[in-house]
A = this chain, B = another copy of it.
Amino acid sequence: MLRWFEEAGASSDVIISSRIRLARNINTYPFSTRITSEQTDRMLADAGKVILTLPVAADFHDYLLEDLDEVQKEALVERNVISRYLEKQEKAMFFASEDEKNTIMLNEEDHIRIQCIESGLNLREAYKRAGYLDDCIGKEITYAYDDNFGYLTTCPSNVGTGMKASLMMHLPALGNSRKIQDLISEVGHFGINMKGLYGEDGTGCGHIYQISNQKTMGQTEEEIIANLENIAQQISGQERECRRQVLKNDRSKLEDEIYKSYGILKYSRRLKFKDAMLFLSELRLGLSLGLLEFQEKTDFIVYQLMIGIQPANLKLIAQKDASEDVLEEIRARFIRENLPLIN
């Protein structure tokens, strides 16, 4: 069973994944800011039992946060299976489908968080599944809901639909052209947040960016999704145009950069995360543009490597207590072994 980051979806030249997240609370328990430890235990037991018995959750695995060690938890955060918020909770549980496309988190910032991810541009499928999970749970549990406000949530910013729709985008051409900062402020006018992922300075290490809706109220779920799709298509158009321009004006330099990146990825003995992300970004661009080709037909997905080379995921497959130095060696080996040969 392929996980969402092991397959390519629609518009995958630019869009890596689509995610829908729904925030829900149980009306019989205080919100997380006021809930006691004992109430949390009961909430987890109640909600956990309901979800475990849902037919739709039959292929979900259930996890108690306390059963996982730090590396396991961190690796799940890196793979977007659970949120950073959940990982930091003292008590929590979650349910995740084997393909890691669906997660239900209990005792996150809200009692219940439903998250569905799809490869490429496919917010509608992600929303369909999240909505279905929401309906199934909502039949057994009475949500905190207000006829005027909609779903009530711990943080006011989520009240209403309780929905956050987001897209992960790969924008190497825009990123290199420095148009990206303008774009980030521009999309704000259309109610969209845009930020770089995997980087401390918000510039998006590996040119990976996330866009998401700012508001959850005053718009229907369909309107939120349509608006985000619309903005994503405009950004994608700009990125593709920018790539065309580079191809037209600087093809030889671009090809060289992409092939050099491949050579470094294929032969390095040590790689820092940030450097590896940049080289993988070049490789992803080169594959999208057809500038390089693998020797044999392959289902290789660059983002899969971007996930795999993150520290905790590397530690999981190699050595849990690996130092930064050792991790760099493990990262280089992991890439060497997983990167197909090119012509």
Using CB atoms and an 8 Å cutoff, list the residues of chain A in contact with chain B.
252-253, 255-256, 259-260, 262-270, 325, 329, 332
Contact = CB atoms under 8 A, between A and B. Distances in A.
Contacts of A259: 267-269
Contacts of A270: 252-253, 256
Given A252-B325, A252-B329, A329-B252, A264 B268 contact: no
A215 B212 CA distance: 76
Contact of A252 (B252, B255, B262, B269): B269
The interface residues of chain A, by DSSP majority, are classed as helix
A259 B271 CA distance: 12
A246 to B, nearest CB: 14
Contacts of A264: 260, 263-264
A145 to B, nearest CB: 57
Nearest to A257: B269
Nearest to A254: B269
A257 to B, nearest CB: 9
A251 to B, nearest CB: 10
Nearest to A268: B260
A263 B256 contact: no
How many copies of this chain does the complex contain? 2
Given A253-B270, A263-B265, 10 more contacts: A252-B325, A255-B269, A256-B270, A259-B267, A259-B268, A260-B267, A262-B263, A263-B263, A263-B264, A263-B267
14 contacts: A252-B325, A252-B329, A256-B268, A256-B269, A259-B269, A260-B263, A260-B264, A260-B267, A262-B263, A262-B267, A263-B266, A263-B268, A264-B264, A266-B267
Contacts of A269: 252, 255-256, 259-260
Contacts of A266: 263, 267
A319 to B, nearest CB: 15
Contacts of A262: 263, 267
Contacts of A260: 263-264, 267-269
Contacts of A267: 259-260, 262-263, 266
Contacts of A263: 260, 262-268
Nearest to A267: B263
A319 B268 CA distance: 34
A332 B258 CA distance: 14
Contacts of A256: 268-270, 332
Contacts of A329: 252
A124 to B, nearest CB: 40
A252 to B, nearest CB: 6
A252 B332 CA distance: 12
A191 B48 CA distance: 86
A340 B59 CA distance: 50
Nearest to A271: B256
A260 B332 CA distance: 11
A172 to B, nearest CB: 17
A283 B36 CA distance: 64
A256 B332 CA distance: 9
List 4 A-B pairs, minimum CB-CB distance, nearest first: A263-B267, A263-B263, A256-B269, A256-B270
A48 to B, nearest CB: 47
